[in-house]
Every structure is written in C-alpha cells, then in structure tokens.
Amino acid sequence: MRTDGRIITISDDAKYHLRKEMRVLYAQMVNILDCLDNTDRDKLQTIFRSSVDLPNQEHSLICTLRLPKGKRPSRINEDVTTINMSGHFYTCDDESSSSEKLFIAHCEPLISSTTKGKNSSPSVVKVKSDNSKSTIVFTLQENMMISDVSTK
C-alpha cells in the first residue's frame, strides 16, 4: 500500500481470511484508512509518517478492519475482523519508477465477527491457540466489546 493508505495489491489468501471474493475486496478496500476506526487510522498514519525517520524498521499494529457486508454493502451491516498488521517500507530505486515508498504489510486475522445492525444479539467468537489444548470463547456485543470470556 502507498503511504496515503491506497491499496496497490492484496494477496489471494485474503479471501479466505476475510471470507470475500477478491473482486469484492478490491472494490471495498480502495484505501485501508477508510476501513479503520479513528484510533486505528491515526496509529497507521503515524507509521506512514515514520517512513522518513525509520525507513528500515519493522512496524506492527493491531487494528480492527470493518468491511461492508452483503450484496448491496452498507456500513449498517459490517464484517469486523481484528488483525495484526506488520510490515516495512520499500522504495523502488530504479530509473523507471517515481521512487515512491510503499508499505509492504502482512496481515493476520485475530478475531472476526459479523454485526447485524444496531439491535443485533451478541456474537460468540472462539479462539484456539496452537500451543494450547483449550479454546477461549469470547461473547462480543455489536460494538466488539467483550461481555463474557470462558474456556472450553
């Protein structure tokens, strides 16, 4: 992605994590900043601004990605996924390019949920650790606030 948030390309694996076809993802994710809430947007913009001061440093951010849901997507119904985004800046220094800095990001989903509007019931999210035999179960309200945590 560019440092203004414009997404250049998305890995084909994203369709499995976000449960959307690639053509839909490209249409809904023109700019990553439009898919984040204000706090996460500010954090990512801070990382983008650091491209001058910290060009070779690995950056990491946990943020909530909100994408419209449905055949006629709207922000009333959203697919919400908490992701771990890590990446670094890359500059192409050949003569044919503008030497624009790109942020090469690797994103992994941590928690996902589907909201069903303002009067939705709580969602149950199960998280299984690779290092543990137990599963942690979160009960999430529509605003992604945790109302209950249990183990199985």
Q: Is the pLDDT assigned to residue 150 strictly greater than 80?
A: no
In whole angstroms, what is the distance from residue 47 CA to residue 60 CA? 9
Q: What is the per-residue pLDDT across 127-136, written as a single tens digit (0 to 9) for each?
A: 555 555 666 6
Residue 19 has pLDDT above 50, yes or no: yes
Domains, in order of start, for the chain: 14-116 (3.30.450), 121-152 (no CATH)
Residues 137-148: tens digit of each pLDDT: 667 666 656 667
> Over 50: is that where the pLDDT of 119 sits?
no
Q: What is the pLDDT of residues 34-72, one digit of tens each?
A: 999 889 999 999 999 887 776 678 999 989 888 887 666
The pLDDT tens digits for 20-39 are: 888 888 888 899 999 998 89
6 has pLDDT over 50: yes
Average confidence (pLDDT) over 96-113: 75
Q: What is the pLDDT of residue 52?
A: 74
* Mean pLDDT estimate for the chain: 77
The pTM for the full model equals 0.67
